[in-house]
Structure 1
Amino acid sequence: MSPADLVRRPAGQSLWFPRAAGGTPPGADAVPRLVCLPHAGGTPSVYGGWQEELGDGVAVVPVLLPGRGLRLREEPHTALAPLARDLAAALVEQRLAHDYVLFGHSMGALLAYEVACQLRDLGRTEPLHLFVSGSRAPHLYGDRSDHTLPDAELHRLVRDLGGLGADHEVGAAYLARRLPVLRADLHACDTYRWRPRRPLRCPMTAFSADDDPIAPFGHVEAWRAYTTSSFLHRHLTGGHFFLGGGAPRSRLLRELRAELGRVRGATDTGTPASPSSRNRSWTC
């Protein structure tokens, strides 16, 4: 499939980026663009406030996947490969497939990696940086079957992971409405099988958390093999949903601001980032 073929894909792809009133998201001319992908069952709301936190030097572009929000009537994907292809198509169509950074949490991290590979295979540029959060490395997927759990057990799993928020009653009511799309997303993750391919060339930062049973330290560290550029592993406090708030979220945003500043500086000058910030491979 060529990039031209992508542009001719079905209508409605502007809905991928809900901040777009008539096409390109506000601030999308800013560099870099931070394209943010949600966790399983998630919506762009998980990235609420990020634009204000990260400032005007970056355009935060949250992604709305099928089956939720304005796309509620669309069938959610149950396989990751076609979802990655369709999202890559949308990025090309909306002229967002250059000067961009990808951030994904949990399923979103796996999807971000697949989108980066898809765009590379189509001759597009890789992201300026890939941020993966709360996700084991791609080759470690395939050992879970969460999408088959009965409703009560799935509720319990999300609760135990901290996915219901501070008010469990409100969170449980919201989750009950989101179960079909959550199951679809979990099916995509559970049935995903990594296929060997060459590593990406872009820098990568991985985030893990102390109490995350879904993506423990060693499984996040395994992302190191997926880039030939610099790899930073930031280990935070908290559980699987450390993006939700508090100190872990604050630290993550600080790390993002710092790295995006380096990306922006390199883009403005047209030169690679300095060796001191790029040629490292360490964990903290």
Structure 2
Amino acid sequence: MDAQQRRWFLREPSPDAKMLLLAMPYSGCGASMYKAWPLTVGDAEVVPIQHPFRENRMREPHFGTYQDVTKAMLDDIGDLVTARPWAVFGHCGGALPAFETVVQAGERGLPPPHQCFMSSQVAPQDGPWGRFLGLDEDGLRAEIAGLLAAMGAGAAQAEELVDLFIDTMEADVAANRVYWRPAGTVQCPITGIGWDADVEVPHGLMTGWPQWAPYEKVLLSGTHYSFLEAPPSLLQVLADRLTAG
């Protein structure tokens, strides 16, 4: 794997993995947000994707749009990650580049993913949606502090880190605001994951996904940030659908 490919990963996928689960970062965050997740779920190795303009790629410019970052990623690692069964997971803002990966993989004639997991996000034709999209800088700073707390940062540490996250969050939210696709078709099943106490993207809004592919909806107990902790209920949903055999 060359440096151009390696930059998309915090850790390189194992050549022995039966399946890869590409996990996309949440708005404002990098791949390390999946630090509480196990290395494998079912038959799949969890592979957090590292987008530019965050963490070890902070010196790189922001990607601009989800379409652009997906094109760049697939140019570099498309053949690598689709050479075996693969799947995608994304939550809220992270679900959008995850789904765009599915769409563009199909447009390129790459093998379709085994499964697409969309957590707390409306279908592209119903977007953009989310309270974050209407927040000013002060509002986003408050949300970042809450996100950092959910990721395990203490109050003092979270306050210090907000300045490091704000530019990334603002740019990611801008990408979210302009992402839209008309309803179409993708060649993989979609599992929509809603959370019963999620007030950011209520699960009742996730009604547009069946227009794209065979669809199932799963409702889990938790808030908007519960996925960060990799709760057993979420891991079971993923594991039950990630079988390479």
Contact 2:25–2:49 (Cα < 8 Å) also in 1? yes
- State how far apart, in whole Å, the 1-side matches of 2:5 and 2:207 are: 34
Report how far residue 182 of structure 1 moved.
0.8
Of the three residues 173, 194, 197, the one matched with 1:208 is 194
Residue 181 of structure 2 corresponds to 194
Residue 207 of structure 2 corresponds to 221
Does residue 58 of structure 1 match 2:44? yes
Q: Secondary structure at the match of 1:16?
A: coil
After TM superposition, the score normalised by the length of structure 1 is 0.76
Contact 2:19–2:244 (Cα < 8 Å) also in 1? yes
Report how far residue 153 of structure 1 moved.
1.6
- Structure 1 stretches of 4+ with a deviation exceeding 6 A read none
Contact 1:136–1:216 (Cα < 8 Å) also in 2? no
- List gaps (5 residues or longer) in structure 2: none
Residue 84 of structure 1 corresponds to 70
- State how far apart, in whole Å, the 1-side matches of 2:211 and 2:156 are: 41
* Matches for 1:53-202 after TM superposition, within 5 Å: 54=41, 57-92=43-78, 95-98=80-83, 99-142=85-128, 146=132, 149-158=135-144, 164-165=149-150, 167-196=154-183, 198-202=184-188
- State how far apart, in whole Å, the 2-side matches of 1:145 and 1:237 are: 21
Residue 257 of structure 1 corresponds to 239
| RMSD, aligned α-carbons | 2.4
- State how far apart, in whole Å, the 2-side matches of 1:170 and 1:222 are: 39
Residue 33 of structure 2 corresponds to 46
Of the three residues 240, 245, 266, the one matched with 2:224 is 240
- State how far apart, in whole Å, the 2-side matches of 1:249 and 1:145 are: 24
- State how far apart, in whole Å, the 1-side matches of 2:17 and 2:185 are: 28
- State how far apart, in whole Å, the 2-side matches of 1:53 and 1:143 are: 31
- State how far apart, in whole Å, the 2-side matches of 1:149 and 1:41 are: 14
Report how far residue 106 of structure 1 moved.
1.3
The one-letter code of the counterpart of 2:37 is W
- State how far apart, in whole Å, the 2-side matches of 1:208 and 1:13 are: 33
Residue 5 of structure 2 corresponds to 13
Number of matched pairs = 241
Report how far residue 149 of structure 1 moved.
3.8
- List gaps (5 residues or longer) in structure 1: 1-10, 266-284
Ranked by relative contact order (alpha carbons within 8 Å, sequence separation 6 or more), the top structure is 2
Change beyond 3 A, Cα 1:169–1:237: farther
Q: Secondary structure at the match of 2:207?
A: helix
